[in-house]
Amino acid sequence: MTRDTLKNRMGKRRIDLRELKRDAGSRIVMLVVDGLGGYPHPDTGLSELETASLPNLDSIAGESACGLTIPIAPGITPGSGPGHMALFGYMPTRHRVGRGVMEALGIGLDLAEGDVAARGNFCVADGDGRLLDRRAGRIPSERSDELVALLDGIDVPGHKVSVHAVRDHRFVAVFHNIGPSSEATDTDPGLDGHMPLESQPVGPDSEELARAVNAFVAGSHEALKGKEAQAVALRGISSPPVLPSFPERFGLRPAAIAAYPMYRGLARLAGMDVLSTGRDFASELDTLKAVYEEAEHDFFFLHYKPADAAGEDGDFNGKVAALEALDSMLPQVLALDPDVLVIAGDHSTPAVFGGHSWHPVPLAIRSKLTKGDGAAAFTERSMASGSIGTVKAMSVMTLAMAHAGRLKKSGP
Amino acid sequence: MTRDTLKNRMGKRRIDLRELKRDAGSRIVMLVVDGLGGYPHPDTGLSELETASLPNLDSIAGESACGLTIPIAPGITPGSGPGHMALFGYMPTRHRVGRGVMEALGIGLDLAEGDVAARGNFCVADGDGRLLDRRAGRIPSERSDELVALLDGIDVPGHKVSVHAVRDHRFVAVFHNIGPSSEATDTDPGLDGHMPLESQPVGPDSEELARAVNAFVAGSHEALKGKEAQAVALRGISSPPVLPSFPERFGLRPAAIAAYPMYRGLARLAGMDVLSTGRDFASELDTLKAVYEEAEHDFFFLHYKPADAAGEDGDFNGKVAALEALDSMLPQVLALDPDVLVIAGDHSTPAVFGGHSWHPVPLAIRSKLTKGDGAAAFTERSMASGSIGTVKAMSVMTLAMAHAGRLKKSGP
């Protein structure tokens, strides 16, 4: 029984947007502010959004349908992968992006169908192969680059394995042409002082992968003999998810504009056209303006990173400044007058937590159909009483499509 | 594998109200205001509910638990069928009412188990059978009634097919005694200038239906030869959904009071007693008052149509007036002092859109357990910060049962 048959027999039929979509000729800009949501500072009782001076965002909130999004589920803190998958309309628990794939996307590798990526660490090991330090003293990139070159030459019979430096003790190993939907368990034991684990296949199509992984690890002992790090630990070993095509699902011709490779990679997984752009948001805006009037795309995913980066650093004032910098550039987006402007976040990154969190994330959808619904300011508290309510982030694309006039009525 | 076994294997066990229900002797009135929610008028920034003078609704909001309902899913605009299914406690994506069935209910046909209904159009066709005009110039009822009579005589071997006029170019064909849970694809190609499609079975129990549909279409060519319309196009061909019984699920003895046939039909599908009433809401109220004190029913579904009708017409002031007219009659409901009064809508119909929309719909639940939770007025904006929050419309029955003291604790 296929999954679809099972679903029909269960009668658990979800809304299939492919049945409802229509081409209204309208255009959607989705600005994803990475780590958008925050949390009140203990001294002031005000969050980053409440502290910052954000005249444009506040004005957009006043003209928009507003609400909060839950990236995965209440209380669940998402990584960037599920955070973006949800905003692109994919069920984040179903369409998983492994750690190896995320690292590969993060350094701009373009994984082909059938490739499998693993995140690797260089380790210090004793004579028995026990991993004494799974980060090899955070060996700096200058010295680990040489080790990467040694691994890149390992012979794994029947397969090509390429190894790519990430930073310091981290690398990515790509097992080429293994076959789609392969996954194998980690060789990283997760704790110092333990022997590396043998990788096991996850599911029936992954035996070839596990064999290749274990052959690569065996080869690494030989290659690294007498070096500063003598072993490797691999984790997050899987092929990229095979996603239903975003263009096909939504009937949109999407363009992704993102300065950071990881977000370009996530967009490419969904089947978006990834446009070349510069290294910051100002360059992204130049790219957007250059392509907006061409008829080639009608959906534009725009990514803003600095808010998350400051939040991760625990830098409250830095995050405030990053939000204010974004705000000052928004008139360039508004000048394009897109039919629908979505401002969303992949997750919250409160500076007071110094990392991602599970808190619902502000959402504004501005269209010709919105006149504002009372959100007086672009803040977590104000959005909580917006007309959209608190919804799953997976619903954002549906709401965007509705506001774009791109959905027919469901049911008679 | 039975559905229950399957469900357990899938691990998707939902709350089963049949295990929790208890008879508290309390009575629930559910007033469904069709197309209740609206949207701000561009000139005033106020919605229909905000514009209207609604002293009784505002007072009820002040005494109620309030919130907003999402009929199907965020961004999805529902038809009347799924809108009501959800308020009756059925998952609207699982229990679908086809277009043919809705049309049949709309003209007051009482479909028997095993019947299948199809929505039909009269069409102008060329000599090859190509459908040139799928509405036959919107042929008026006076002239299409004759054509309906011709179709009603078509001989489909092994099956009785009855044909019923709806209005203008529209009719309903009922294929009798085909078997439950049958569904077949449309013969309507969806665009003028195309040949009609051959109907195909949807699922294994529908081959007999597809055969009958194709035989009927073949017979129609003969029956309509030389007439103003020479062909038909059928769509939405399915049996009524087999719904779990509302009385059994909720332990309630429900009565439906609705002036319009379609809503009586939907209530009958759920297993409600459909009471005879007049042609307007005043008559419905007379019916309610007459039966309320009898011990035969403890749930009363009351339907108010004019708000939706004005919204569909794009008549903002008309919708305001329809809401004010409703408000002025509400003291008659309040005088009965029901244990629980639910005021809900099947969907929003903003006059500025001139049709149904996806926007969350105001909800008030007034009971002996509510003292009001801060909704100062019966409006979309005010309800957004009510204590119920923004919930799926499918939850309304559960909330009504809770307020009626009709649900036990779940789990020890």
**Strand partners of residue A234:** A120
Output the average pLDDT for chain B: 94
For chain B, which residues make up each domain, given as ranges? 21-97+242-403, 112-238
Mean pLDDT of B35-63: 95
In terms of pLDDT, which residue wins out, A111 or B180?
Answer: A111
- With a cut of 0.90, is the ipTM above it? no
- Residues of A whose CB is below 8 A from B12: 10, 12
Instruction: Find which of B70, B93, B238 to mutate to test the A interface (most A CBs within 10 Å of its CB).
Output: B93
Tens of pLDDT along A299-328?
A: 999 999 999 999 999 999 999 999 999 999
Q: Provide the token pair at A302.
A: 């725009």
pLDDT at B2: 46
User: Lowest mean pLDDT: which of A284-288, A311-315, A384-388, B338-342?
Assistant: A384-388
The pLDDT value recorded for residue B371 is 85
Partner-chain contact A407 B380, CB within 8 Å: no
SS (H, E, C) chain B: CCHHHHHHHHCCCCCCHHHHECCCCCCEEEEEECCEECCCCCCCCCCHHHHCCCHHHHHHHHHCEEEEEECCCCCCCECHHHHHHHHCCCCCCCCCCCHHHHHHHHCCCCCCCCCEEEEEEEEEECCCCCEEECCHHHCCHHHHHHHHHHHHCCCECCECEEEEEEECCEEEEEECCCCCCCEECCCCCCCCCECCCCCCECCHHHHHHHHHHHHHHHHHHHHCCCCCCCEEEEEEEECCCCCCCHHHHHCCCEEEECCCHHHHHHHHHCCCEECCCCCCHHHHHHHHHHHHCCCCCCEEEEEECHHHHHHHCCCHHHHHHHHHHHHHHHHHHHCCCCCEEEEECCCECCCCCCCCECCCEEEEEEECCCCCCCCCCCCHHHHCCCCCEEEEHHHHHHHHHHHCCCECCCCC
**Distance in Å, alpha carbon of A409 to nearest chain B alpha carbon:** 5
**pLDDT of B375:** 84
Distance spanning both ends of chain A, measured CA to CA: 30
B235-249, B296-310, B349-363, B372-386, range with the lowest pLDDT? B372-386
Contact A125, A132 (CB under 8 A): yes
Residues from chain B that touch A13, judged by Cβ atoms under 8 A, are 93-94, 96
Which of B12, B93, B390 has its CB closest to that of A15?
Answer: B93
Interface of A to B at Cβ within 8 Å reads 6, 8-15, 20, 67, 369, 371-374, 384-392, 395, 398-403, 407-412
Q: What class has domain A21-97+242-403?
A: alpha beta
Q: In the prediction, which pLDDT does B203 show?
A: 85
Q: What average pLDDT does the segment B22-27 reach? A: 92
For residue A8, the chain B residues in CB contact (below 8 A) are 203
Question: In the prediction, which pLDDT does B9 show?
Answer: 47
Residue A12 has pLDDT above 50, yes or no: no
Note the pLDDT of residue A1. 28
Closest approach of B151 to chain A, Cα-based (Å)? 24
Give me the percent of chain B exceeding a pLDDT of 70.
Answer: 97
Are B236 and A412 a contacting pair at CB < 8 A?
Answer: yes
- Residue contacts between A and B (CB atoms, under 8 Å): 114
Of the candidates B392, B362, B381, the one whose C-alpha atom is nearest the C-alpha of residue B68 is B362
The pLDDT tens digits for A142-190 are 999 999 999 998 999 989 999 999 999 999 999 999 988 899 999 999 9
Query: In chain A, what residues touch B68 (CB-CB under 8 Å)?
Result: 387, 389
pLDDT, one tens digit per residue, over A327-373 is 999 999 999 999 999 999 999 999 999 999 999 999 999 998 887 66
Confidence of residue B13 (pLDDT cuts 50, 70, 90): low
pLDDT (0 to 100) of residue A203 = 86
Q: What is the pLDDT of residue A374?
A: 64
Is residue B5 predicted with pLDDT exceeding 70?
A: no
Closest CA–CA distance from residue A104 to any residue of chain B (Å):
33
Among A81-85, A392-396, B41-45, B397-401, where is mean pLDDT lowest? B41-45
Q: What is the pLDDT of residues A241-290, one digit of tens each?
A: 999 999 999 999 999 999 999 999 999 999 999 999 999 999 999 999 99
Q: What residues of chain B lie within 8 A of the CB of A375, using their CB?
A: none
In this predicted structure, what is the pLDDT of residue A5?
Answer: 38
A409–B79 C-beta distance less than 8 A: yes
CATH class as words, domain B112-238: alpha beta
CA distance B259 to chain A (A): 19
* Predicted structure pTM score: 0.91
Residue of A nearest to B104 (CA): A412
pLDDT at A9 over 70: no
Q: What is the pLDDT of residue A11?
A: 44
For residues B142-165, average pLDDT: 94
Mean pLDDT (whole number) for A22-30: 94
* Cα dihedral: A97, A103, A109, A111 (round 10): -30
Facing residue for A10 by CB, picked from B10, B81, B357? B10
Which pLDDT band, with edges at 50, 70 and 90, does A10 fall under? very low
Instruction: State the best of B4, B358, B382, B391 to mutate against chain A, taking most chain A CBs within 10 Å.
Output: B358
Q: A28: distance to nearest CA of chain B, Å?
A: 15
Average pLDDT on A375-399 reads 94
At B374, the pLDDT band (50, 70, 90 cuts) reads: low
H-helix or E-strand containing A184?
strand A183-184
